[in-house]
Structure 1
Amino acid sequence: MKHIVQTELRHMKDKWLSQKAEEIQGCADIHNSKCFYQAIRMLYGPQSAGTSPLLSIDGTKLITDKPGFLDRWADHFSSVLYRPSSVSNDAINRLPQIPINTALDDPPSATETLKAIKQMSTGKTPGANAIPAEIYKSAGPLMTQNLTKMFQAMWKMKPYHRT
């Protein structure tokens, strides 16, 4: 009897896992990330809120408090990110030098503004200014002129431009 119950439970679990796999695949196929991650969370259960202990740099002390964690991670990333360069100056000097593109220092032109407007994707959610690309594309030459003037005024305010 015990063997029959265990077999039945195993079949139920296999069926449930198979249905979950199909559900997750369906979410992935339609690019629904919210559905996908909800199904994954259902499969794996809630994440633990606890943290694992951490060893000190020399490996002799167990760190269990939050300030200690933060200090240890800061030490770790400092040692990883702020290493002295191992590239010699001779190797850097042998790299071919290309001329500086000074055209990038020029303020944006009406042609560049129009080109940027034409490259905007339609049918997408508007950006931070909440203006859809369709507005820019359908507004015409007056909009392009005004945008160009605005971009040029912004360019003049930047500290890195050349005058």
Structure 2
Amino acid sequence: MQNKWWTNLAEETQHYADTGNTRAFYEALRAVYSPTYQVQAPLHSSDGNNLLTDKESILRCWAEHFGNLFADKRQVQEESIRRIPQHAERVELDEPPTQEEVKVAIAKLKCHKAPGVDGLPAEV
């Protein structure tokens, strides 16, 4: 039974590849290679003495690390700020896009692709 499933899946995947249906081809490949099982790798604690193996303590350690990394304790010197080159303000970006610009942007979208990570299909 399992051999028949593999054979059918292989034939189906080959059919998608032959017909150029890339979306279905990659979905079939995903069916072969997934689900992936992730193994939780151990992590040393921030002081380096303990080895953390459970998920909660590892997440707590990462939260502490990024909390320290992005804390507001850092200060920027005024001299460094003055050395940053200043560019002229672009006021043309304040105007909303024209209908023609929107049409050109939509025409440049690839089929079944959205321009961002918002999860909205391009048809919308």
When normalised by structure 1's length, the TM-score is 0.42
- Give the C-alpha shift of residue 125 in structure 1: 2.5
Mapped pair 1:125 → 2:115: no
In proportion to residue count, which structure has more helix? 1
Instruction: Specify the alignment match of 2:74 in structure 1.
Output: 84
Output one character per residue of 1:99-131: Cα deviation in whole Å (capped at 9) or x when no partner.
22223233x26xx22122123236722753774
Report the counterpart of residue 100 of structure 2 in structure 1: 114
Give the Cα separation in 1 of the matches to 2:110 and 2:84.
45
Percent of matched pairs sharing the same residue:
25
Q: Give the superposed CA RMSD.
A: 4.0
Long gaps (5+) in structure 1: 1-22, 133-163
- Looking at CA atoms only, which structure, 1 or 2, has the larger radius of gyration? 1
Q: Which structure 2 residues correspond to residues 43-122 of structure 1 after superposition, within 5 A?
A: 47-82=36-71, 84=74, 88-106=77-95, 108=96, 112-121=98-107
Letter of the structure 2 residue corresponding to residue 34 of structure 1: E
Contact (CA 8 Å) 2:45, 2:52: kept in 1 or not?
yes
Equivalent position SS for 2:64: helix
| One-letter identity of the residue aligned with 1:71 | R
Q: 1:51 to 1:129 in 2, by over 3 A?
A: closer
Compute the TM-score of the two structures, normalised by the length of structure 2.
Answer: 0.51
In structure 2, list runs of 5 or more residues that go unmatched: 1-12, 115-119
Which amino acid letter does the alignment assign opposite residue 114 of structure 1? E
Indicate whether 1:34 and 2:34 are aligned. Answer: no
> Could you say what secondary structure the match of 1:120 adopts?
helix
How many angstroms does 1:74 deviate by?
Answer: 0.7
- Alpha carbons of 1:36 and 1:115: their partners in 2 closer, same or farther (altered >3 Å)? same
